[in-house]
Amino acid sequence: MISRLTSREPRLRLGMVGVSLGGNVMLKWLGERGDAAPAQLVAAAAISTPFNLAACASVLDRGINRRLYTASFLSTMKAKLDKKAHLFGNVLDLSAALKAKTFAEYDRLVTAPLHGFADERDYWDRSSSAQFLPGIRRPTLLINALNDPFMPASALPRTAVAKSRWLEAAFVKEGGHAGFLEGFAGRRSWAEARALAFLRRHLLG
């Protein structure tokens, strides 16, 4: 998409925003490309990013998080998997996958084999964006809440932020996972407003 836009509109100035896993993918892409990222891409913002997928799976696969979040996510994911079973041939053990009760099991039985990873650990290790942050060469804002139930505060990439002139962090006390609601009846997203202000500053500056 970025290549198509920049080829069609070479004078266009772009800002990117990624949320949750989308933020993880975006940051990994930016870090991998470094200085080779399209010149038209001016800045980026990531909201509620799971920088460390292994750490996220660990907190989601136990205790109250497993009952509140993981069970719900897996139910939806397995329903979609069942509907698309005819597309997977013998790549998956569908029966075992539909019985998965944790993200670790699901990623081992579904995500890894579908995308060419050895197992869930290989997927988590190679796909986590934290290791790619030092390579980013565009102004990038990282917004995460310390009380995010999916991303433990202990795994936030504070060292990478401190060492990079390209990264700015807003690691705030509250906001949950992609919440950050404010205003009357929580009608506004503080994180979205902060991300847009950051992009506007770089796009128009």
Tell me what pLDDT residue 184 has: 66
SS3 141: strand
Mean pLDDT throughout 25-51? 97
Number of CB atoms found within 10 A of residue 97's CB: 22
Predicted confidence (pLDDT) at residue 4 exceeds the cutoff of 90: no
Tell me what pLDDT residue 2 has: 79
Q: In the chain, pLDDT over 70 holds for what percent of residues?
A: 99
44: domain CATH number is 3.40.50.1820
Spatial distance between the Cα atoms of 24 and 26, rounded to a whole number of angstroms: 5
Spatial distance between the Cα atoms of 201 and 57, rounded to a whole number of angstroms: 35
Predicted confidence (pLDDT) at residue 183 exceeds the cutoff of 80: no
Mean pLDDT throughout 44-49? 98
Q: What is the pLDDT of residues 19-35, one digit of tens each?
A: 999 999 999 999 999 99
Spatial distance between the Cα atoms of 86 and 146, rounded to a whole number of angstroms: 41
Specify the DSSP class assigned to residue 154.
G
Whether residues 115 and 144 share a domain: the answer is no
Whether residues 179 and 157 share a domain: the answer is yes
Number of domains in the chain: 2
Query: Minimal CA–CA distance to 192: which of 204, 203, 205, 181?
Result: 181
Whether residues 134 and 198 share a domain: the answer is yes
Spatial distance between the Cα atoms of 156 and 202, rounded to a whole number of angstroms: 24
Among 125, 144, 173, give the residue marking a domain's end. Answer: 125
Whether residues 43 and 138 share a domain: the answer is yes
Domain range spanning residue 149?
A: 2-52+128-204
Question: Which residue do the tokens 């292994």 mark?
Answer: 54
Whether residues 133 and 200 share a domain: the answer is yes
Tell me what pLDDT residue 133 has: 98
Whether residues 107 and 142 share a domain: the answer is no
